[in-house]
Amino acid sequence: MILIFSAVVITLIIAAVVMVVASLISKKTCVDREKSSPFECGFDPHGSARIPFSLRFFLIAVIFLIFDVEITLLLPMVSVMGLSNIGPYLTTGLFFLLILLFGLYLEWHSGALDWSN
């Protein structure tokens, strides 16, 4: 037991020393204006490099990810239905689809899917 404890302590000490040495070596002492500015093919940037992106694009991307995860959860359910009792799988699948369709309706009703505005 003492051997395991001493091995763990030695490992933690070595890891801490390596992290401290890496932290000291990696510190940058010189801050260069050219290196901290955004790169645009050698030219000075015309505007801010940190322009905000469209919130509508972000909402559409999140909706896409939600429905992508939905497909990955529903497709295996279809293949498992033939191997087992269909009742619980059908109930779970329909409940899951109803929740997702309700969410899609709310997104549609709130105007998140309308790109014309």
In a domain, 12, yes or no: no
CA dist list (Å): 59 to 9, 56, 68: 48, 5, 14
* pLDDT-based confidence at residue 113 (cuts at 50, 70, 90): confident
* pLDDT-based confidence at residue 58 (cuts at 50, 70, 90): confident
In a domain, 20, yes or no: no
Strand partners, 40: 43
What range does the domain containing 89 cover? 55-110
Pair of tokens at residue 93: 């699948």
- Give residue for tokens 């359910």: 77
In a domain, 85, yes or no: yes
Model confidence pLDDT, tens digit, residues 1-45 = 889 999 999 999 999 999 999 888 876 656 666 666 666 566 665
In a domain, 62, yes or no: yes
Looking at residue 117, its pLDDT comes to 60
In a domain, 101, yes or no: yes
In a domain, 34, yes or no: no
**For all residues of the chain together, what is the average pLDDT?**
79
Give how many domains the chain has, as a whole number: 1
pTM recorded for the entire structure? 0.45
115 neighbors 56 (Cβ within 8 angstroms): yes
